[in-house]
Structure 1
Amino acid sequence: MSARREATRQRLFEAAVTLISEQGFGATTVDQIAERAGVAKGTVYYNFAGKTELYTALLEWGIQRLAARLREAAATGPPRAALTEVLRAELAFIGAHEALARLLLAEAWRTNRVWYATVGQLRSEAIGVISGLLDAMAADGDLPEGIDTAVAGSALFGMAVTVALDWRTRAPDRPLDEVHATVERMVAGFLGG
């Protein structure tokens, strides 16, 4: 894909994420997305078959970016230490991309078969990073017995999303380090350490 086309798609993603997070998927039109992105309506259709395809590509793009950040953080050390770094990376990512996070929460889990694959991508690529670290901890004997790592990974991921959105909504001037310190203490309590 050319750099110019990629830049256009980026503008479309940014316009779509802003509009959809403000007014919802159903109320957002292709005309509005094109206008916000500063392109002709035909440009949207040149890049995507329609609004649903744009939205699906937007979610996939966002999930890939989030998962990449989480994988980078997971590679920082042993599983227990890496887990807290992954949660920190998630808080930072959501803090920087809160409209995208709101979009994921508001739209992706609706009963729409089009987005089931996208939710599966979120589970395998982003939540899977956390579950993978928990699996490694369990293999090392560093996790309490009987913990379902898939459920625990989803719970920790969801907790971090909720905390990040609450932080950005209610106390945006609060430093990330303070928010992360509280999350880190909670996870240490869960892990027994």
Structure 2
Amino acid sequence: MIERALEFIGEYPAFVRLWLGEQWRADGAWQGLLAGMRAEVLAVIEAAVQRISSERPLRAGVTVGGVAVALFGAAFVTGMDRAALHPERSIEEAREAVLSIVLGALEPEQRGRHPPPACHTEPQAPRNT
């Protein structure tokens, strides 16, 4: 989901700039439409955060809605930064940076449990100690 959002931002940066510029403009002609789109996007993100938090609880004081807004904002800014200033950054690097917000919002992992499925990375070879 985050990777697709970052790809969209890279493909349609003018739309994203318009959205960012108009989103918080009190008297903007697009306010109603953009508020509805924002609510739809946040509902999808909140559902994903809720699924993750059902497997690994959020830290005390952290809410599903708060994490969803943080992810929304981080994806916007990271995607625009990548598109405008750092095209050398891969989608994967940008995705992992945005996902780090989710990992920071979760309670520390207990032994024997794995990160939520949405946060899995490629398996690592066992280390010889």
Whether the TM-score (by the shorter chain) exceeds 0.5 is yes
Is the CA contact 1:167–1:174 (under 8 Å) kept in the aligned structure 2?
yes
* TM-score (norm: length of structure 2): 0.69
Q: In the alignment, which residue of structure 2 is the partner of 1:118? A: 33
2-structure distance, mates of 1:89, 1:191: 23
Greater C-alpha Rg: 1
* Runs of 4+ that moved beyond 4 A: none
Q: Which runs of 5+ in 2 are unaligned?
A: 110-129
Is the CA contact 2:67–2:101 (under 8 Å) kept in the aligned structure 1?
no
One-letter code of the match for 1:106? G
Which of the pair is proportionally richer in helix?
Answer: 1
SS of residue paired to 2:34: helix
What do residues 60-88 of structure 1 show as CA deviations (whole Å, max 9, x unaligned)? Answer: xxxxxxxxxxxxxxxxxxxxxxxxxx222
One-letter code of the match for 1:159? A
Is the CA contact 1:98–1:165 (under 8 Å) kept in the aligned structure 2?
yes
Worse overlay, 101-110 or 114-123: 114-123
Is the CA contact 1:109–1:119 (under 8 Å) kept in the aligned structure 2?
no
Kindly state the Cα deviation for residue 141 of structure 1 after the two structures are TM-superposed. 5.0
Is the CA contact 1:134–1:143 (under 8 Å) kept in the aligned structure 2?
no
SS of residue paired to 1:104: helix
- Structure 1 residues 170, 142: CA separation in 2 closer, same or farther (over 3 Å shift)? same
Q: Which runs of 5+ in 1 are unaligned?
A: 1-85
1-structure distance, mates of 2:84, 2:27: 28
Fraction of identical pairs, as percent: 29
Is the CA contact 2:49–2:64 (under 8 Å) kept in the aligned structure 1?
yes
* TM-score (norm: length of structure 1): 0.49
- Structure 1 residues 164, 188: CA separation in 2 closer, same or farther (over 3 Å shift)? same
Q: In the alignment, which residue of structure 2 is the partner of 1:104? A: 19
Residues 1:159 and 2:74 aligned together: yes
1:53-132 paired onto structure 2 within 5 Å: 86-112=1-27, 114-132=29-47
Q: In the alignment, which residue of structure 2 is the partner of 1:136? A: 51
Q: In the alignment, which residue of structure 1 is the partner of 2:92? A: 177
2-structure distance, mates of 1:159, 1:191: 17
What do residues 40-70 of structure 1 show as CA deviations (whole Å, max 9, x unaligned)? Answer: xxxxxxxxxxxxxxxxxxxxxxxxxxxxxxx
2-structure distance, mates of 1:111, 1:168: 27
Is the CA contact 2:56–2:106 (under 8 Å) kept in the aligned structure 1?
no
- Structure 1 residues 136, 100: CA separation in 2 closer, same or farther (over 3 Å shift)? same
